[in-house]
Amino acid sequence: MVTQYAPLFPVFLALVGTYIAFHFYSAAWLARNFAMSAGAARSVRFLFLLLAFLAPFTMFLRHRYAAPSLEPLYLASSSWMGIILIIGSTFLLSDLVALGLKQLLSPSGMYRFRLASAAFLGLLIPYAFYNGLKAPAPKELRYTVPGLPPGLDGLKIAQLSDMHIDSAYKLRRFSATVDLVNAQNPDLVLLTGDLVDPGLTCGTRLGELMRKLKPRLGVYGVFGNHEYYYGYEKSLACYKECGIKLLRNESADAGGLRIIGLSDIMTEKMTEHTVRDILEKHRKPGVSILMSHQPLMLGSMSETGDYIGFFGHTHRGQIFPFHIFTRMFYKYFYGPYRLKNSFFYITSGAGTWGPPLRLFAPSEIPVITLVKP
């Protein structure tokens, strides 16, 4: 069967190409619009060239040597990755708007417009940091489920996804997230992957935080692609330490509710036929809870039964203009989707990967209440 995702390599090339191109474009924009001398322009281009390779090099070091001493450098370089995307897209938009204003503004008016565009970054970048660093907001939804057993009417499910905990700083941030989840008093917590990342030593502290979550029906989870990057066996041990009931193409029953967990579809190279077989094996009559990391093959899933599905991974793009590339790859990108008799929710996630910034993609903790018609 034909899968529902685009080829990965062209999208990856587009992302890398955009990242590098924005460095050169931004350097040229500054030199052109601020009448720099030839020497100053060369210096700016050289600086931006160095910055373009700083973040990938630091990420390589971080993955190779999980040393706490690298955390400040990693934070600075990953922040720059987000900053250059904002700078480059702002300068590009400024040039496109300037084409339309060229006949309306005098040269001095055009200069002031470009100056205002550059100054606007003084607001936009702090705003992105604010959204990236603040605690995720609970997002409450209600889903009417035909045939819901009386004992499950009003059941509250909280979803946690994409925390990407890779440092002491993110552990401290996750502590506040745990308190926010507990404040919602959910009956069930679902963890849809990417809890950990290379750089973290999964020890007592993370386990203590996760075990503070005490929903009456338990905490269930699936692996995201970053658990595989972290190390499969290490991730198994980490989830066990955290008290997470890991489902690897398996199911479990909690309070009369069937919960099915699919391993990461892309990483394990699962076909639609494989996914269908797993769901046919584990689903029960009536509605089942389904969770997986990447929102792939949702159409095929909905053909095998009635599900309330939870997914993550996309981060809703995290930083504009990444929204564009994420939409290229994922047909189902963010928010609620109804397919046949199933309801699927794709969250923007509770954390950040790479840059600690979010622009037009706030973090969240979905809290979904099931109700009878």
pLDDT digits (tens, 9 = 90+) for 13-45: 777 888 899 999 999 999 988 888 899 999 999
pLDDT tens digits for 106-139? 888 888 888 898 999 999 999 999 999 999 999 9
Residue 320 backbone phi and psi in degrees, to 5? -65, 135
- The pair phi, psi for residue 141, each rounded to 5°, is -135, 155
C-alpha dist (Å) from residue 188 to 159, 248, 274: 9, 18, 27
- Quick one: pLDDT band at residue 66, thresholds 50, 70, 90? low
For 197-226, b/e burial (b = at least 16 CB within 10 A) is bbbbebeebbbebbeebebebbbbbbbbbb
Beta strands in 270-341, from DSSP E residues, in sequence order: 287-291, 306-311, 335-339
Say which range, 38-47, 100-109, 205-214, has the weakest mean pLDDT.
100-109
Q: 164 with 194: CB under 8 angstroms?
A: yes
Domains of the chain, earliest start first: 8-132 (no CATH), 135-371 (3.60.21.10)
Is pLDDT of 5 > 50? Answer: no
Return phi, psi of residue 140, to 5°.
-90, 135
Reported confidence tier of residue 169, pLDDT bands at 50, 70, 90: confident
Residue 193, pLDDT score: 95
pLDDT for residue 4: 42
Beta-sheet pairing, 364-371 with 156-160: antiparallel
Tokens describing residue 291: 């969770």
pLDDT of residue 314: 96
Judged against a pLDDT cut of 60, whether residue 1 lies above it is answered with no
Closest listed residue to residue 166, CA positions, set 355, 357, 360, 353:
353
pLDDT score of 365 more than 60: yes
293-314 pLDDT, tens per residue?
A: 999 999 999 999 999 999 999 9
Gap between the Cα atoms of 170 and 212, Å rounded: 17
pLDDT score at 8: 55
Handedness of CA 205, 206, 210, 211 (dihedral sign): negative
Give the mean pLDDT of 331-336.
95
Considering only 54-63, 87-96, 332-341, which range has the smallest mean pLDDT?
A: 54-63
The mean of the pLDDT values for the chain is 90
What is the pLDDT, as a whole number, of residue 132?
Answer: 95
Torsion angle of C-alpha atoms 52, 53, 57, 62, degrees rounded to 10: -10
Nearest CA to 193 out of 242, 240, 246 is that of 246
Phi, psi at residue 353, to the nearest 5°?
A: -115, 135
Q: Which residue has the higher pLDDT, 146 or 333?
A: 333
Lowest mean pLDDT across 3-17, 211-225, 338-352? 3-17
Higher pLDDT, 289 or 54: 289
Q: Choose between 323 and 176: higher pLDDT.
A: 176
